[in-house]
Structure 1
């Protein structure tokens, strides 16, 4: 009698983040077109697509920086469609911008302290939490340096530290490796894998080596709609993705 194969573990009944029919018009332009999207807890998901595909608008809809024309956004079982960004952050979202959003005149310590203060529990040390967040991105030796004096790549790392300092359930990283050296990119990959042990990661990234080596699954947007979704191997082999984005 053939040995029985153990059944695969059942997926979580409820995704951490999902959208249903999310659409955004800007005048006569449909930037995001009826997107259905599901992100399970614990996954590293990459969102890719050609320039103008609607990635930044879609992520803005997820994070609450932009409100949809129609459709619904659900986070941790709650309809957050009309909640502003700060209310979504309070529920466990953290979003690092494509363009850095640090406070250039403040020291690195103070930048991260502003993020830590949003979730600091009684009895926790602000200094300890700040230094731990900066240590995760390799900037703990620059506590007193003004953020504006950092290189662009290090400013991106500071912004990631500010996101991590919030202990998010979902960390959204928008072009995080832009401006990083090859060595820093390798360190970033290690960091994301570590973060993913405790949080879900949504990565918007043009560096396909980073995408293919990190992502559990990839969602491809084109002209505001989902073109394809699958594992890195499936996306790499998809003829429609090759034509639209990968240059195949």
Structure 2
């Protein structure tokens, strides 16, 4: 059953077509990787899905409902959570308080909030740093904190934009394990440049190029696709 879909979704900026008539379907329970060269329209597309960018034309559907004109906070309320390329943590607040801000959208009461916060921080490996100021974290750890903030909302759909950027090899290994764990209960859309991450965790891959879907299929199919190699993988 499809959880998220778009039909004819387009966005132009001052005459430049960033996303052009994209038809996209993400089934419930799938881990989908969205890949493509720089400037392919990936971040714009995600902004359209999340409600941070208004479409020029086309529709976005979530669990069968047309959400094309819902603002971002309304989409969060329906069960969408997302992290973006640029971290949006509150640097002066502790890790605990950053995640608590997200958790309080869903649960009430000190004990319940604390349980959700510490559980989310533990999943991303940051429970031991709960009282540190978020601004003191490395960039990579701020990305992990953002993921914890998303997890605290118990989303039906988790959208991650370049989540492994700035992570060490060991942290990337941990991230892969986290995605495999989350995939049992959460649909995931992953925008990712690290092809080892894509190959290991994605069920299906969508390739964007010049704002349009170039190809879709399994990671192995996309790795072997001559068009994808030419456009993105730098060969062929």
TM-score class, shorter: over 0.9
SS in structure 1 of the partner of residue 227 of structure 2: helix
- Per-residue CA deviations over 1:98-133 (Å, capped at 9, x if unaligned) read 111000000000000000000115796111111111
The answer as to 2:97 corresponding to 1:90 is no
Partner of 2:20: 33
Q: Which runs of 4+ in 1 moved over 3 A?
A: 121-124
Q: Distance in 1 between matches of 2:223 and 2:124?
A: 30
Partner of 1:239: 226
Q: Distance in 2 between matches of 1:244 and 1:62?
A: 24
Partner of 1:204: 191
SS in structure 2 of the partner of residue 134 of structure 1: helix
Alignment of 1:17-56 (within 5 A): 17-56=4-43
- Per-residue CA deviations over 1:74-93 (Å, capped at 9, x if unaligned) read 00111000001100000000
Q: Which has the higher helix share?
A: 2
Partner of 1:223: 210
SS in structure 2 of the partner of residue 65 of structure 1: coil
Partner of 1:67: 54
The answer as to 2:98 corresponding to 1:111 is yes
Unaligned runs of 5+ in 1: 1-11
Partner of 2:181: 194
Q: How many residues align?
A: 235
The normalised TM-score by structure 2 is 0.98
- Per-residue CA deviations over 1:1-30 (Å, capped at 9, x if unaligned) read xxxxxxxxxxx3xx1000000000111100
